[in-house]
Amino acid sequence: MTGRTRRRPSGNYCASRFALMALAALPYAAQADDAATQSLAETAREHAARAAARVWHDARDLGQFALGLIGVGYRYGGDTPVGGLDCSGLVRYVFQQVTGVTLPRTSRELSQVGANVSLDDLQVGDLVFFNTRNYSFSHVGLYLGDNRFIHAPRRGRDVEITTLSREYWQRHFNGARRLVGVLPSLIPAVIPEASAITLTTISAESTAEEPVDETRELPGNP
């Protein structure tokens, strides 16, 4: 008995069949793409929220840690609580201990780090600068909120809190800088988290901070 010869599908038939299969799969592919896009968007939002929370947490930690240094004696060129602190030494020590970031040594160099902030937009952890020795950015403090900042004033004085509303500081205000949330090392990356970096390491002995000379313009303490 002679068998039938099966007819092989033509090229046009195969192409049409594959085209139909591809069209049928399009909705599923589109759904997968939408789900992937949605998932990426949600992940990005989650990481942004975590980053914002981390930044605010870092800022509060800076202020809280600095409060523990109230009463530490002033020392020209000092950069540890044991030996004493000058104004930039105080800021540098706080950032090192809380964030692991090593900041520049002098207030003038600190004034070039981070982002410029207006007086009306100050937040906890911002650096506030003053002209206290007839040159800009010769003194620095750490803003604590509620118009207050902590600083190491001058020889014979201790680390203390004062307010920006005082006439002396208003007249000598030079500007403010925001480091938290601006320095790469203070912003958590998606994977992995950013590690602390060293911006500048400068010898404290060769770049010691000049003390505030408040007595030249204002009798008594500012």
Q: Active-site residue among 14, 47, 57, 151?
A: 151
Q: Active-site residue among 47, 57, 87, 172?
A: 87
87 is catalytic: yes
47 is catalytic: no
| 96 CB-side CA count, 13 A | 17
Task: Give me the helix-helix angle, 11-67 and 87-99, nearest 10°.
Answer: 130
Q: Active-site residue among 14, 47, 57, 139?
A: 139
151 is catalytic: yes
Main-chain dihedrals φ then ψ at residue 11, nearest 5 degrees: -60, -35
Residue from 158, 161, 162, 163 nearest 71 by CA:
158
Query: Tokens in use for 214?
Result: 């408040």
Q: Measured on CA atoms in the order 123, 197, 90, 72, is the torsion positive or negative?
A: positive
Q: How far apart are CA 140 and CA 134, in angstroms?
A: 14
Residues with a known catalytic role: 87, 139, 151
